[in-house]
Amino acid sequence: MSSKPYGTICALSKACEILEPRWTLLILNQIWSGYTRFSDIRRAVGNISPGVLSKRLGELEKAGLVERIEDRAKGTVDYIRTQAAIELEPMMDGLSIWAQRHIDAEVALSDANLSSMMWFFGKAVQTAHFPTRRIVMRLHFSDESGPYPTWWLLAEPGASPEICVEVPDLDVDLYIETTKVSWQALFLGRSTIPREIDAGRLFVTGDALLIRMMDQWLPRSVYAGAGNIRMLGAAE
């Protein structure tokens, strides 16, 4: 994958040539997480362009880390891990835990993409802990400079939640005012709901039951439970 080899007689150098190009490990990580379609992988990875993603997937297929499955009858293409990619999982686990413990929270949380965050929130929110009725949430992010600082979650019993940026003509059950940094800190275990409320970075009003159950329906990273995580600093 690299345009120029390292030129050293070392097994690690060959691994780096395949895995170092930007986005490579993140693409593998999202396929590992269950996203197999091009559009879903792109949304899960974040700021990657379609051209770069297509190039990286082709390189990973050539390297024997990804298998491309085309269903011509349905007109779909899926990308799955090979055994070689599966054997990388302990390394990726170790890197993620290392980052949780050794990279400052302010650095780790500084470049969150709100669109990707909310897309994932809609996929991962634990609706099993919602009351069995329609739920509407309004989420506003004060540190988002883009055109869509406000998002809505619509969850109906028995249906997948919907995330949108258009105001629904429905009563809102829960209002959340926060920042991208605070929201991502909760997901990654870099902070807690009471801690963010005390710091003035999270305000929640509305349905008392949803507020009480927030710690259960709010999605968390599998690495949120890693020991000795570097936490987000207290409010200034």
Residues 101-126 pLDDT 10s:
999 999 999 888 999 999 999 999 99
Quick check: 6 pLDDT over 80? Answer: no
Matching CATH topology for 11-87 and 106-217? no
Q: Determine the average pLDDT of the residues in 214-220.
A: 98
- Per-residue confidence at 12, pLDDT binned at 50, 70, 90? confident
Instruction: Give the pTM.
Output: 0.89
Per-residue model confidence as pLDDT tens digits over 163-208: 999 999 999 999 999 999 999 999 999 999 999 999 999 999 999 9
pLDDT at 56 over 70: yes
Residue 158 has pLDDT above 90, yes or no: yes
Model confidence pLDDT, tens digit, residues 72-81: 999 999 999 9
Q: Domain ranges in the chain?
A: 11-87, 106-217
- CATH architecture of the domain with range 11-87: Orthogonal Bundle (1.10)
Tens of pLDDT along 26-54? 999 999 999 999 999 999 998 899 999 99
Query: Which CATH architecture does the domain made up of 106-217 adopt?
Result: 2-Layer Sandwich (3.30)
5 has a pLDDT exceeding 90 = no
CA distance 23 to 47: 10
Quick one: pLDDT at residue 3?
59
**DSSP secondary structure of the chain:** --SS----S-HHHHHHHHH-STTHHHHHHHHHTT--SHHHHHHHH-S--HHHHHHHHHHHHHTTSEEEEEETTTTEEEEEE-HHHHTTHHHHHHHHHHHHHHS-HHHHTTT--HHHHHHHHHHH--GGGS-SS-EEEEEEETT--SS--EEEEEE-TTS--EEESSPPSS--SEEEEE-HHHHHHHHTTSS-HHHHHHTTS-EEEE-HHHHHTHHHHS---TTTT-TT--PPPPP-
